[in-house]
Amino acid sequence: MKNLVLLFALLVSAASFGQYKTAQNNNQKTEAPYLEISEANAIIPLLSSKADVHITGTIAHVKLTQVYHNEGTIPIEAKYVFPMSTQAAIHDMKMKIGDRVVNAKIFEKQKAEKVYNDAVKEGKRAAKLDQSRPNVFQMKVGNIMPSDRIAIDIYYTEMLTPINGEYQFVAPGVVGPRFTGENTSGEETFNQPYTKKGIADTFDFDMNMSINAGVTIQNVASSSHKINVTYPKKDQATVFLSKSNINPANRDFILNYSLRGNAISSGLLLYEHDNVNYFAYMMEPPAQVQEKNITAREYLFIVDVSGSMNGYPLEVSKNLMRNLLCNLHPDDTFNVQLFASSSTVYSSLPVTATENNIEDAIKFLSNGQGGGGTELLSALNVAYKLPRADAGSARSMVVITDGYVTVEKEAFKMIEEHLDEASVFTFGIGSSVNRHLIEGMAKVSNSQSFIATSQEEASDMALKFKEYIASPLLTQVKFETKGFEVYDVEPKSIPDVFSARPVVIYGKYKGEANGKIMLTGYQGRKRVKQTYKVADGNLSKENKALRYLWARKKIERLDDLNTNFYTDVKPEVIALGLEYNLATKYTSFVAVDELIVNPSGNAKKVNQLLPMPMHVENSAVGAAAKVTGKSIIKKSYTLTFDKIALPKNELREIKVWFKATFGKLTSTYVSMYGDLEFKFGKDGELLSVSYLKDGKWITSAEMLQAFQTQQINKNKVAKQVTIKATTVI
Q: pLDDT tens digit string along 379-392?
A: 999 999 998 877 66
Q: How confident is the model at residue 288 (pLDDT cuts 50, 70, 90)?
A: low
The least confident of 85-89, 341-345, 633-637 is 633-637
pLDDT class for 355, splitting at 50, 70, 90? Answer: confident
**Lowest-confidence range among 12-21, 157-166, 429-438, 529-538?**
12-21
Q: Which of 52-66, 514-528, 686-700 has the highest mean pLDDT?
A: 52-66
User: Residue 270 has what pLDDT?
Assistant: 95
Query: Domain check: are 303 and 237 in the same one?
Result: no
Residue 16 has pLDDT above 50, yes or no: no
Average pLDDT over residues 128-152: 93
Residue 687, domain extent: 637-727
| Mean local confidence (pLDDT), 586-609 | 89
User: Confidence band (pLDDT; 50, 70, 90) for 394?
Assistant: low
pLDDT at 302 > cutoff 60: yes
315 domain residue, yes or no: yes
Confidence bin at 558 (pLDDT 50/70/90): confident
Q: Is residue 688 part of a domain?
A: yes
Whether residues 306 and 242 fall in one domain: no
Of 54-68, 161-175, 527-541, where does mean pLDDT reach its minimum? 161-175
What pLDDT was estimated at residue 265? 58
Strand ranges in 491-648 using DSSP code E only, listed in sequence order: 503-510, 516-523, 526-533, 538-539, 587-596, 604-607, 637-641
At 152 the pLDDT is 95
**Taking residues 548-555, what's their average pLDDT?**
94
From 470, 489, 504, give the residue that closes a domain: 470
Task: Supply the pLDDT for residue 264.
Answer: 56
Q: Is residue 142 part of a domain?
A: no
Domain boundary at 455, 470, 485, which? 470
How far is residue 390's CA from residue 112's CA, in Å, rounded to a whole number? 55
Listed residue (503, 587, 529) closest to 115, CA to CA: 587
Give the range among 91-100, 112-121, 137-146, 646-655 with minimum mean pLDDT.
Answer: 646-655
3-state secondary structure of 439: helix
Map residue 557 onto helix, strand or coil: helix
Position 472 pLDDT exceeds 80:
no
- pLDDT class of 500 with cuts at 50, 70, 90: low
Mean pLDDT score, 639-649? 76
Q: Give the pLDDT confidence score for residue 374 in this predicted structure.
A: 83
For residue 117, what are the contacts with CB-CB under 8 A and spacing of at least 6?
none
18 and 164 share one domain: no
Peptide bond before residue 45 is cis, with ω within 30 degrees of 0:
no
Measured CA to CA, the distance from residue 363 to residue 632 in angstroms comes to: 8
- Residue 636: its pLDDT value, please? 58
Instruction: Give me the pLDDT at residue 549, please.
Output: 96
Buried b (16+ CB within 10 A) or exposed e, 57-67: bbbbbbbbbbb
Lowest mean pLDDT among 115-124, 154-163, 615-624: 615-624
Same domain, 243 and 336: no
Task: Give the separation between CA 152 and CA 205, rounded to whole angstroms.
Answer: 15
pTM: 0.74
Measured CA to CA, the distance from residue 416 to residue 74 in angstroms comes to 51
What pLDDT score does 291 carry?
52
CATH number, domain containing residue 406? 3.40.50.410
Residue 208: its pLDDT value, please? 94
pLDDT tier, 296 (very low <50, low <70, confident <90, very high otherwise): low
Ramachandran region of residue 330, left (φ > 0), alpha (ψ -120 to 50) or beta?
A: alpha
**Is pLDDT at 407 greater than 80 in this prediction?**
yes
Tell me the mean pLDDT in the region 403-408: 85
Q: What per-residue confidence (pLDDT) applies to 620?
A: 60
Same domain, 403 and 317: yes
Query: Do 675 and 722 reside in the same domain of the chain?
Result: yes
Q: How many domains does the chain have?
A: 4
DSSP element (H, E) containing 114: helix 109-121
Predicted local distance difference test score (pLDDT) of residue 227: 95
Residue 639 has pLDDT above 80, yes or no: yes
Amino acid letter at 293? Answer: N
Per-residue pLDDT band for 618 (boundaries 50, 70, 90) equals low
* 303, part of any domain: yes
| Class of residue 543 by CB neighbours under 10 A (exposed 0-12, middle 13-18, buried 19+) | buried
Would residue 229 count as lying in a domain?
yes
pLDDT of residue 188: 66
- Indicate if 235 and 326 belong to the same structural domain: no
- Statement: residue 354 has pLDDT above 60: yes
When mean pLDDT is compared across 257-261, 408-412, 471-475, 478-482, the lowest value belongs to 471-475
Residues 352, 454, single domain; the answer is yes
Whether pLDDT at 202 is above 70: yes
List the single range of 183-192, 423-432, 457-466 with lowest mean pLDDT. 183-192
Asked, for residue 586, whether it belongs to a domain, the answer is no
| 305 and 410, same domain (yes or no) | yes
Same domain? For 332 and 458 the reply is yes
Nearest residue to 259 (alpha-carbon basis) of 305, 220, 221: 220
Residue 33 domain-assigned? yes
Residue type, 209: M
What's the confidence (pLDDT) of residue 25?
34
Q: Which residue has the higher pLDDT, 308 or 483?
A: 483
* Share of residues in the chain with pLDDT > 70 (%): 80
Q: What is the pLDDT of residue 179?
A: 66
Same domain for 397 and 328, yes or no, is yes
Q: Which amino acid is at 14?
A: A
Q: State whether 247 and 324 are in the same domain.
A: no
User: With 80 as the cut, is the pLDDT of residue 719 above it?
Assistant: no
Residue 155 lies in a domain: no
Alpha-carbon distances, residue 4 vs 47, 80, 170, 202, 408 (angstroms): 13, 17, 31, 9, 36
* Mean pLDDT, the chain, whole residue set: 81
On the 0-12 / 13-18 / 19+ scale of CB atoms within 10 A, 331 is exposed
